[in-house]
A and B are shown apart, each in its own frame.
Chain A
Amino acid sequence: MYFLKKLGITTLSAIMTTGVAQAAEPGPNDWFNAGRQTVIDAEQLHPNSKRAKNVILFVGDGMGISTITASRIYDGQQKGGHGEENSLSFEKLPYLALSKTYSVDEQTADSAPTMTAMVTGVKTIGHSVSVNQLVAHSEPNAEAVNANKLATILEQAKQHGLSAGVVSTARITHATPAATYAHTANRDWEGDSDLPDGATVADIATQLVDFNINGGIDVALGGGRTRFIPKSATDPEYGIAGKRKDGRDLTADWLSKHSNARYVWNKAQFDAIDPKTTDHLLGLFEPSHVHYEADRIAHDKAGEPSLTEMTSKAIDILKKNHKGYFLMVEGGRIDHAHHAGNAYRALTETQQLASAVQAALNKTNPDDTLIIVTADHSHTFTIGGYPQRGNPILGLTQSAGATSPNLDMLGLPYTTLNYANGPGYTGKSNVQEAGSKSFTTPATAAWESGSEGHNPKSFSPATGRPLLKNAKVQGSDYLQEAIIPLGAETHGAEDVAIFAGGPKAHLFHGVIEQNVIYHVMAEALGFTRQDPVKKHKVTHKNKHL
């Protein structure tokens, strides 16, 4: 298959979302015609072989296919439809492939090697950030790291005179954004206080600010303030101490190192930024990760922009460069919500990523901008049972025609969404009683209740299953049941999706290795690179397919 489908959902969605809740379901002819129309549209789809001026890479951290499906349904139900017919913004992109996410040494990978593969074209070992597999994990020697560092698409963009930006809801020094601009053999070395004694490799925050290719990184927006300010300084929003031991105030250094530079840490400052007069923008909106989108407005003290707003501002600054730009945008907390076993926040984070993609689509021209939406890895998140059409995706499974939820062989109802492992296990934990678990552990429960959701250290075996009610499981803090008790839910190893549109997007096809993503971006931007890849004769037996 030379190119993949333009999904029929596009047309069908138009039929369904306009009035599913109120109007009659499409009839047989409507279904047939919508399917036919999809094929007609696909016939009109022609590969765009132009060189891309701009590339935007969206990464939903931990956004596996089940997460996309559930988020699509959740989003559609929020709009008043049944949900299944809905399409998230990026699902309407014309080209699709599957990405194999394993790393050199991990069947189920973490974000560091997966993002390294995406932005350097080379797979590496777990927890390594844009260095190859030949450098040992936690190698502290800068020379050894530099000898094995991998050029990133962001660095190459800068070398070619393009602008470059990084946006995330995680710390801007977290593995996914870090892989675009930093090189280190340990993803956790985000600040200098994280480095072991005697290490000569620079911490990730320093590498961000000291990035010196062609004027430096142009836009960096996310969380992670404390690793940019010295121990002697306090956080402007919460008063907590900075973490830097070297005394550097990297926010000040950002201003001194770059021209027309601004540093902002709250939404009012962010909103006041005029993209026309700002060439370098650093925004750090929380000491660590920024708020979950579900909590952002209600809980953030100083206010912080949404991922959509950060993406829009970044594009407005970067697009001033007539040569083009590379932008990476990460929905970083999809992963955290899944680790916490909380589907609600994972789905609402995915919704926000879709909104950010839509903002990018609105601000760019598909003729000259390649937009890619993918994930670094999946999670153990499942959609199961036989719920009827339009059944609340967070709710109890209830089949078509049934008047009450379906029951398991214990005579108990169950949810459509579940996890294979994690803190949603229903045995008694050291912080919550036996039965359903909640994201929230009340502060009055114990002195050690300051937890990232239900963050247990131990479980007792569960006896049977809890009696679930829709009011509970559809709540924002419910933790879906997990089969295997773990303190944190884990990543999943199955393939993730790559959605793409724009120049060279048609090069995404079939089931590919994750590092191919880099090569498509490089091809689209016209970056020729001979080393380490040497052109060789195609000998693959399927070369003619």
Chain B
Amino acid sequence: MKLPDLFKIIISLGFFSFSMPGLTDSASNQQLTDVACRYETTITPDDKSTAPSTTTWFFWRKPDMIQTQDESGRYGEIWEKTATGNIQYHKLYPADKTAVEYMPADSPTHNLDFDWNKLSSMLSQQELDALKFVENKPVLGRSAEVRTGKINEQSMEVLWLPTEQLPASIIRKDKTGTVELQLVEITPLTAARQKPIDRETIANYRQIDAADFGDMENDPFVKKLMSVEGHHAH
């Protein structure tokens, strides 16, 4: 996969999750199950001259770890809950055996006050409450709630899996186009064919503090990440 494609994935991951406020207390207290999911995200721009793009990516959830990864395994993200209640965040570049870390001293400054419950599900209870329940519908052998409505000038249609506390589908539409998230596969984490990268492997990656990017302009990895492909976002 070319790196520009990689960034499309990054962008698309961001698209589907651009509004993830916290869950309600009841949801936050709920013990979420360990799961492994495969999702597809399709972006269909309103501009007909731009072809729709679809990316596939993985989502893994454990009590103390959330991890995502694109299908090629070239890019992922990981959030780990530490014993002191902090959330450690890394971007993962497995092909480069490199992890970019976002250190605690910089996180609060940048509103990186990650809420574990925000990370564990993809829609907040507030968002769900803002959407009107329509009906129950079977999805992948599970019962899903169909919810529709409008949030932040976007029309939304959601298939929500209340047991798993995850979306089976989210369709967002606005004047710029449509972003569609579809759950393709969901299994218990232990039964997953594709596993998340384990902690030991990540610990052996090269670790770069994101604050050091500015001083690493000649580093091949940073160069590749920030310059070579650093052109048009569209």
Contacts and interface: CB of A to CB of B under 8 A. Distances in A.
Given A238-B82, A458-B229, A446 B18 contact: yes
Chain A CB within 10 A, most for which of B7, B106, B225: B106
A238 B88 contact: yes
A439 B232 contact: no
B108 A295 contact: yes
Contacts of B11: 430
A458 B232 contact: yes
Contacts of B211: 288-289, 336, 452
Contact of A110 (B91, B215, B226): B215
Contacts of A298: 108
Interface in A99-156: 110-111, 126-127
Contact of A451 (B20, B82, B102, B230): B102
Interface string A223-238: 1000000010011011
B226 A460 contact: no
Contacts of A368: none
B103 A460 contact: no
Interface string B1-41: 00000010011011101111100000000000000000000
A237 B17 CA distance: 30
Nearest to B103: A288
B85 A340 contact: no
Contacts of B113: 443
Contacts of A299: 105, 108-109
Nearest to B215: A110
Of the four ranges (under 10, 10 to 19, 20 to 34, 35 or more), the interface on chain A belongs to 35 or more
A63 to B, nearest CB: 15
Contact of A287 (B104, B108, B215, B217): B104
B210 interface: yes
B110 interface: yes
Interface string A449-464: 1111101111111000
A444 B115 CA distance: 10
A483 interface: no
Contacts of A94: none
A445 B209 CA distance: 21
Contacts of A243: 203, 207
Contacts of B230: 456-459, 485-487
B71 interface: no
A459 B232 contact: yes
Contacts of B169: none
Contact of B105 (A175, A291, A441, A488): A291
Q: Interface SS of chain A: helix, strand, loop or mixed? A: loop
B206 interface: yes
A245 B108 CA distance: 29
Interface string B215-231: 11111000001110111
A488 B82 CA distance: 30
A430 B10 contact: yes
Contacts of A457: 7, 10, 225-226, 229-230
B107 interface: yes
Interface in A421-453: 428-431, 439-453
A440 B14 contact: no
A447 B68 contact: yes
A6 B68 CA distance: 60
A451 B18 contact: no
Nearest to A428: B233
Contact of B18 (A239, A245, A338, A444): A444
B226 A289 contact: no
Best-surrounded residue of B18, B21, B233 (most CB of chain A within 10 A):
B233
Interface in A238-295: 238-241, 243, 245, 286-292, 295
Contact of A488 (B21, B84, B226): B226
Given A111-B215, A428-B233, A457-B7, A193 B207 contact: yes
B104 A444 contact: no
A291 B106 CA distance: 7
B14 A339 contact: no
Interface centre among B20, B91, B209 (most CB of A within 10 A): B209
Contacts of B227: 486-487
Contacts of A485: 230
B110 A453 contact: yes
5 contacts: A238-B88, A290-B105, A446-B15, A457-B226, A486-B230
Q: Which 7 pairs show the lowest CB-CB distances between chains A and B?
A: A339-B214, A446-B14, A239-B82, A239-B84, A488-B214, A487-B226, A452-B210
Interface of A: 110-111, 126-127, 175, 188, 193-194, 223, 231, 234-235, 237-241, 243, 245, 286-292, 295, 298-301, 335-336, 338-340, 428-431, 439-453, 455-461, 485-490
Given A188-B219, A295-B108, 16 more contacts: A237-B104, A238-B104, A239-B84, A239-B85, A240-B82, A289-B106, A289-B209, A292-B109, A429-B233, A430-B233, A443-B111, A448-B14, A450-B114, A458-B233, A460-B234, A488-B217
